[in-house]
Amino acid sequence: ISKQRGSIDYAIPRFLHYDGSFDASSGERMTVSTLLPDGLHVDTNNNQHFRHWTILVYLNDCNASGGTTFPLALRINHDESVSKNLSQDEPTTYASYTAKRAADHLIFDKDVQHTRITRDDDEDVLKMGKEIEDLAVQLFLADNDDSLKDKQESAETGVRVMPKCGHICLFSTPTENGFPNPRSFHGGEVLFQGEHKNLLSFFFEIPGDTFSSRFEFGQLAKKREDDFLKWHNIDC
């Protein structure tokens, strides 16, 4: 919940607690439904497009599970010159390309912000959502399998934020045109038995009475982000 007092924005946090449920010693294969019990989504507050920033404050460490996954997020060292004319012989890169196309289609063409949404008139929505979720599984497996680490480290996309006590995860949902950023699809990974996760979540919103169109909302978000980066002397 975000509030505004005068010209100052502030947020009331929610405390969240999760207990581990997955038996990592069982030999069970990690699947989409196991890794992402709630799927992936972008933070639009149930299609109300005024949410700007999400901030997660982790209150304890998690070792191998319980991360916040962003399967389409670009890494800082990504190569923007990589050709989009990719072949099936490059599974990781090709998968990230097709998943990004699926995310674009969900956001811009279908106005869908959750990979598990069901629509009786469009079965392709769930198929496209699964393409993005499959990429999250690849990312998880690569981070937990030494034989796949080199391949994953060379990939363009995919970020898992592992909980560390006192650390924060801050991300923005809208682009400067006011649409949700398809690369902000994210979700909470399952926790292994014996682990738990405590965190605070903050949602900063742009007051609805300060803009009259999606584009104006995007421009306000961009200005806020530019001011934030300038204030903290961040160059990206």
What pLDDT score was predicted for residue 91? 41
What pLDDT score was predicted for residue 10? 56
Say how far apart CA 114 and CA 62 lie, in whole Å.
25
Q: Token pair for residue 230?
A: 């300038």
What pLDDT score was predicted for residue 197? 97
* DSSP annotation of 189: P
Cα–chain center distance at 4: 26
List C-alpha distances in Å: 82 to 99, 152, 155, 236.
16, 16, 11, 19
> pLDDT tens digits for 180-230?
999 999 999 999 999 999 999 998 888 888 999 999 999 999 999 999 889
Averaged pLDDT for residues 73-93: 51
- Would you list the DSSP string of 121-179? T-THHHHHHHHHHHHHHHHHHHHT-HHHHHHHHT-SEEEEE---TT-EEEEE-B-TTSS
